[in-house]
Amino acid sequence: MAKQGVTKIDIKQVLAQKAPKASRKIPGFIVDYLIRTVHQEELNDILTRYHDKEGVDFMRELIGYFDLTLDLVHEENIPTEGRYIFASNHPLGGLDGICLSAVIGSRFEGRIKYPVNDLLLYLSNLKSIFVPINKHGTQGKDNARMLEEAFASDDQIITFPAGLCSRKIGGKIQDLEWKKSFIQKAVQYKRDIVPVYFDGKNSNFFYNLARIRKALGIKMNYEMIYLPDEMFRSKHKTFRIYFGKPIPWQTFDNGKKPAEWAEWIKNKVYKLKD
């Protein structure tokens, strides 16, 4: 039995709320498959086990639950004061965010904000650090306001500018295009950017599914359904995280367009491993 006050994940309820018409047409065996694929039972066990933990404290517990070892390279580049945007590649789509939140949040007394897909708000333990982004519809006024408030605050911002997790492109695991908005926010709110490279990858199954889906001309990112499964596959692993020196926000002048600056930062991130 769940402990009192624990908000459990219910895939059937999520489908009904996010796609009320379509959800009624989905066969029961497909819903059951989704429940197994996203590890609903295991996720609810985590939420129950750590029901009294929130935000960065909850993220730290997850590091222990998944038995992860983090090797921090150039840790001295993590600032101790000021307001920053930590911009990272996004190889895993789940554990990378957990690890970065735990590492950076621990250094700033839990004062972080993390723009995420609004579906992740179903993880009630993390609502205090998540800023919802609607990736499957129009960004509502409330979400837009919350995003602006986050950048205007003294909290540190952790962002994956690609939005989606990395894919295998030309035989290499790399991000898709980095969106320019984090550059614009850096200038608008006078936040220096700390480049971060997270060394990791998902299974070949994930990348092959993405490749086949794209080859068939299917726009819906069906492979994303398997990200929770990828997360549970990564138990007991060691991840290396590289931190670059902060880049002053004044760097992003009119010499390049915001999209070009975003690509420039992306290139610097991938060179951190060299």
pLDDT, tens digit, for every residue of 223-255? Answer: 999 999 999 999 999 999 999 999 999 999 999
Question: What's the pLDDT at 8?
Answer: 85
Helix 11-18 / helix 28-37 crossing angle, nearest 10 deg: 110
Q: Is 224 part of a structural domain of the chain?
A: yes
Q: Is 48 part of a structural domain of the chain?
A: no
Residue type, 184: Q
Q: Is 117 part of a structural domain of the chain?
A: yes
Structural domain boundaries enclosing 200: 53-271
pLDDT, tens digit, for every residue of 118-163? Answer: 777 778 888 899 998 875 555 578 888 999 999 999 999 999 999 9
Does 21 have pLDDT greater than 90?
no
The residues, any chain, with a CB within 8 Å of residue 230's CB and separated by 6 or more, are: 92, 93, 94, 202, 203, 206
**CATH number, domain containing residue 123:** 3.40.1130.10
Distances (CA, A) of 37 to 119, 170, 227, 236: 16, 28, 9, 20
The residues, any chain, with a CB within 8 Å of residue 15's CB and separated by 6 or more, are: 22, 23, 26, 31, 34
**From CA 153, how far away is CA 196, in angstroms rounded?**
21
Q: Return the percentage of the chain with pLDDT > 70, whole number.
A: 96
What's the CA dihedral at 249, 186, 56, 241 to 10 degrees?
A: -60
Q: Is 27 part of a structural domain of the chain?
A: no
pLDDT, tens digit, for every residue of 30-54? Answer: 899 999 999 999 999 999 999 999 9
Question: What's the pLDDT at 208?
Answer: 95
Q: Is 148 part of a structural domain of the chain?
A: yes
The residues, any chain, with a CB within 8 Å of residue 149's CB and separated by 6 or more, are: none
Q: Backbone dihedral region of 100: left (phi > 0), alpha (psi from -120 to 50 degrees) or beta? A: alpha
Q: Is 67 part of a structural domain of the chain?
A: yes
**Strand-pair partners of 167:** 174
Question: What's the pLDDT at 271?
Answer: 98
**Strand-pair partners of 116:** 132
**Domain tally, the chain:** 1
Average pLDDT, integer, range 102-108: 97
Q: Is 126 part of a structural domain of the chain?
A: yes
Q: Is 4 part of a structural domain of the chain?
A: no
Q: Is 50 helix (H, G, I), strand (E, B) or coil?
A: coil
